[in-house]
């Protein structure tokens, strides 16, 4: 190659689906990011634990979209892994409300009696939500959802 030779790299041709700015596409991109990007804030809870995305979904947004639509996806639902120790794959995922999703965390397996106790102690007004979270070993956000009847409706 001569001194003035210019090497031009042509970009890969990607199939255009027109969904790049949709909530569903962003969900797909984020689940891949938390499983494979060590710089992602959620990586330690996913990729670092061995959680991955099945090849079918990893390589094809269209396959993920088809599964999502046939599995009841709407813009108010969140993707949930049924078994928190398994990966993102059609047989282990579902679309659920935020209230259901917060109950299916590996660190949060609350019983109805514990939720009742959280509400009882919370109603006294003696403790902040952060203090309640520490008492019951759950996050302040989870306490807030319970106290505001957005999770664990009884």
pLDDT of residue 4: 56
* pLDDT of amino acid 5: 53
Which positions of the chain have pLDDT values less than 50? 8-11
CA–CA gap between residue 77 and residue 73 (Å, rounded): 7
**Cα 17 to Cα 40, 63, 76, 95, distances in angstroms:** 25, 12, 22, 22
pLDDT in tens, 48-66: 989 999 999 999 999 999 9
What was the pLDDT predicted at 9? Answer: 46
pLDDT of residue 93: 96
Ordered by start, the domain boundaries in the chain are 23-96, 99-154
Which pLDDT belongs to residue 154?
A: 56
Angle between helices 129-136 and 112-123 (to 10 degrees): 150
pLDDT of residue 111: 77
């Amino acid at each position: 190659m001569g001194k003035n030779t210019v090497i031009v790299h042509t970009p890969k041709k990607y199939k255009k689906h027109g969904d790049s700015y949709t909530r569903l596409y962003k969900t797909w991109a984020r689940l891949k990011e938390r499983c494979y990007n060590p710089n992602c804030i959620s990586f330690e809870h996913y990729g670092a634990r061995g959680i991955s995305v099945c090849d079918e979904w990893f390589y094809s947004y269209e396959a993920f979209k088809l599964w999502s639509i046939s599995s009841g996806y709407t813009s108010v639902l969140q993707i949930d892994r049924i078994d928190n120790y398994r990966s993102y794959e059609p047989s282990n995922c579902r679309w659920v409300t935020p209230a259901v999703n917060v109950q299916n965390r590996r660190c949060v397996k609350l019983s109805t009696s514990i939720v009742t106790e959280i509400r009882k102690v919370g109603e006294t007004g003696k403790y902040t939500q952060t203090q309640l979270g520490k008492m019951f070993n759950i996050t302040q956000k989870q306490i807030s959802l319970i106290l505001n009847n957005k999770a664990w409706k009884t």
